[in-house]
Structure 1
């Protein structure tokens, strides 16, 4: 079972920052999950919320700020500034780093609240620029975004993100739309849903797995991956089970 670091090593470091990604890589995890949005001037940036209020010392919406303005805010403010100044990274900065890493990147397209014009195309352009086509998975709660990405790049795996409790016939659904992966929330996930995915050859990557009971359960059900804030703990446990 693969372990993806949720927004990097977000359990210990400011989420969706290069620091969190670098620390995640040091754990030996298999991949990184991150989120992308567009700034006012059309730069693809790595940030989860549509506003910067929760994750930085600034305020306002990503869509209303230029990238130069966004870079002025400190994402480490949520950690009390103990790591110094940690900016919100551009997706291109991440790609430059990721091209030399043995990691799979799960890129969540954040078009569920604002449908950013051209976000899918701009993100794919950067993936191709840095030769990451075989090292990424696209996912989104807005399935029109991954349908669009399937049109643009049918060779790149896509995952249908579902909130709790997800779909009982997720395997059929993903197969119907040519999605290779199903990404359900761990709360409410059932063995029947996992088995339905198995029936159609769909991979199951579960979010956000942060406690041992959930980790043990999804491992027992044969899920393919977990997305966790604590990748080091998860990776060590999975390795112990695979010995």
Structure 2
């Protein structure tokens, strides 16, 4: 039986502050094989991990992330809003379409567990953790501006520095950028992201120089053709959906179809489902 990847989106972000070292550590403790993280440049071109281009939603600070140096960002608490019980805000296409980012976290404060002050982490902090615990990561490039400033090359250099070429993927919705990176740095693994269904997905992703497709399907019937195409071309298919892949029924469907991985905010749930296979 093939190994199905349990991929924790922003760490164990259902129960811990997203994209913090605490969320990554708890994800691996809950059975995650990989964490999926979001990479951005600071003002002084340090690669840090944050979903948003501002720090308003996730920290007790305000302003654009790239307006701060890394040292300036260190004073803000990335667990601040989570600790106060503030709900995550929906994003993407809004209520009439697919919402890229919409789920409600459950704070462990409810269980009497105090959440420590958490800084916005550097990519280096995560890579150091992976070096110790044997984990892996998918590193998504969030900003086209950062891509043009060379964040892809910076991420690849850090992956090499920590000797994690075989355990990290560099990912993006910008497929042309991933292809360009794969040509310049063929020693690194790559993934591309998509919403909907790609025609002959496996062939397309392979032509880009990537080895993984992170796909969110609008209809579950679209999965069959994508799985077949990816299998033919040796591409891993990992499925994500902010609300659906946090539920047992949908994840059971994905496992029955034969996906290669599930991207979830609740790696504990996916670990339980995988143990039942």
Partner residue of 1:179 out of 173, 194, 210: 210
RMSD between superposed Cα atoms in Å: 1.6
Report the 3-state secondary structure (helix = DSSP H, G, I; strand = E; otherwise coil) of the residue aligned with 1:226. strand
TM-score by length of 1: 0.93
Alignment match of 1:234 (pick from 248, 261, 270): 270
1:127 aligns with 2:163: no
Tell me if structure 2 keeps the 8 A contact 1:111–1:145.
Answer: no
Q: How do residues 29-108 of structure 1 correspond to structure 2 at under 5 angstroms?
A: 29-80=32-83, 82-108=114-140
- How far residue 26 of structure 1 moved from its aligned partner, in angstroms, is 0.8
Distance between the aligned counterparts of 1:84 and 1:116, measured in 2?
35
The answer to whether the Cα contact below 8 Å between 1:111 and 1:142 also exists between their aligned partners in 2 is: no
Q: 1:199 matched to which residue of 2? A: 232
- Normalising by structure 2, we get a TM-score of 0.82
Instruction: Flag the 1:176–1:143 CA change in 2: closer, same or farther, 3 A.
Output: same
Q: 1:88, CA displacement in angstroms?
A: 0.3
What is the rounded CA distance, in whole Å, between the counterparts of 2:218 and 2:9 in structure 1?
A: 16
Give ranges in structure 2 of 5+ residues lacking alignment. 85-113
Q: Matched residue pairs, number?
A: 240
**In structure 2, what is the equivalent of residue 144 of structure 1?**
176
In 2, Cα distance between equivalents of 1:99 and 1:116: 29
Is there any run of 5+ residues in structure 1 with no aligned partner, and where? none
For the 8 Å contact 1:31–1:103, the answer to whether it is kept is: yes
> 1:35 touches 1:46 (CA, 8 Å); kept in 2?
yes
Q: Could you say what secondary structure the match of 1:178 adopts?
A: coil
Q: Deviations over 1:108-137 (max 9, x none)?
A: 111346545010111111111111111111
